[in-house]
Every structure is written in structure tokens, then in C-alpha cells.
């Protein structure tokens, strides 16, 4: 591994991190829940339910598309937050693997302790404490498919000195 000089490129770092993370994470969810018999439309409507409440489940592919859009909005927001934090904390740029994995855990906690309880779903923050296969999958997916791609993209495109892996 050797350091290479380059100019930070926030748009590329956020764009690639959010896109790759969003694609990998939704693919994991579609596969994981699909194997349990949940159709893609229902899964995506479940995401829209956070904004629309129960009526999202009756909205057909319209609310499913909204759910997909919201999913990517969340992924890009996670990328923006990580990028902004990486401007202040150099370690986030210099240790992308560890930082990305930890960031995935932070995203899981933020979504389950703040976003979901405040959404139209109104699920209690303590609901996430129940250990089950879905929770384990969610944590691992956010670590590997959101945190890690975002951190690697920021390391690659938004570090004054980046590590070539």
C-alpha cells in the first residue's frame, strides 16, 4: 500500500458511496426477506411506511417506488454525513475498513433508536434490542453494504492522501 496525492472529490465520494451502498443494501434486503416469502413490492412499501404509515401498504407499485427512493435518500444521506465527518476526523479517511464497519453500526443504531421511532411506524427503540436473525442481518448489512462502501469511496476520492489498496 502506498499513499497517492489527489484533490478531494466530494461529489464522486458521496455519489459512489451512496450508490454502491444503496444497491448492495437493498439487494441484501430483497434477498433476505424474499427467502422468507416477502415480495419485493411489499418490502419496498415497508420502507415507505415510515413516511406514509399503514396506507403505504395499499399503494401498489407507487408507494413501493417511493420506498426505493427513500432507501436511496437514506444511503446518500449516510454518505454525506460520513464525508462531512471525515473532513473533521482524519482517521475516517485513513482507516476506511475499521471506520466503515463501525459507521455501519452507528447507522443501524441511529435508524433504530431515532429515525424509526419518530417515523409513522412508531416502533419502540427497545424493539431493536431483540436478538434475532433479522436484526443480525440488518447490522451486518449496514456494516458491510453501507458503512464499508461509503468509507472506501471517501478514502478513494475525498482524501488528500489516500491509501492505494
> Domain extents for the chain?
2-164
Per-residue model confidence as pLDDT tens digits over 43-85: 999 999 999 999 999 999 999 999 999 999 999 999 999 999 9
Per-residue model confidence as pLDDT tens digits over 132-163: 999 999 999 999 999 999 999 999 998 765 45
91-123 residues labelled b (16+ CB within 10 A) or e (exposed): ebbbebeebbbebbebbbeebbbeebbeeebee
Give the integer Cα–Cα distance in Å for 122 and 50.
8
Whether pLDDT at 5 is above 50: no
Query: What are the CA-CA distances from residue 53 to residues 57, 106, 119 (Å)?
Result: 8, 25, 8
Whether this prediction's pTM lies above 0.95 is answered by no
Tell me the CB-side half-sphere exposure of residue 132, using CA atoms within 13 A. 5
Per-residue model confidence as pLDDT tens digits over 94-128: 999 999 999 999 999 999 999 999 999 988 888 87
Amino acid at each position: 500500500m502506498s499513499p497517492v496525492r489527489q484533490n478531494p472529490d466530494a461529489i464522486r465520494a458521496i455519489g459512489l458511496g451512496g450508490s454502491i451502498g444503496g444497491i448492495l443494501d437493498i439487494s441484501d434486503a430483497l434477498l433476505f426477506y424474499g427467502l422468507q416469502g416477502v415480495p419485493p413490492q411489499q418490502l419496498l412499501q415497508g420502507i415507505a411506511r415510515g413516511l406514509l404509515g399503514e396506507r403505504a401498504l395499499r399503494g401498489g407499485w407507487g408507494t413501493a417506488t417511493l420506498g426505493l427512493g427513500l432507501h436511496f435518500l437514506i444511503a446518500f444521506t449516510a454518505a454525506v454525513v460520513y464525508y462531512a465527518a471525515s473532513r473533521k476526523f482524519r482517521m475516517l479517511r485513513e482507516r476506511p475498513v475499521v471506520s466503515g464497519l463501525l459507521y455501519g453500526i452507528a447507522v443501524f443504531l441511529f435508524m433504530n433508536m431515532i429515525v424509526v421511532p419518530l417515523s409513522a411506524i412508531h416502533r419502540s427503540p427497545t424493539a431493536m434490542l431483540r436478538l434475532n436473525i433479522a436484526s443480525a442481518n440488518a447490522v451486518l448489512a449496514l456494516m458491510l453494504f453501507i458503512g464499508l462502501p461509503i468509507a472506501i469511496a471517501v478514502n478513494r476520492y475525498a482524501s488528500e492522501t489516500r491509501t492505494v489498496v
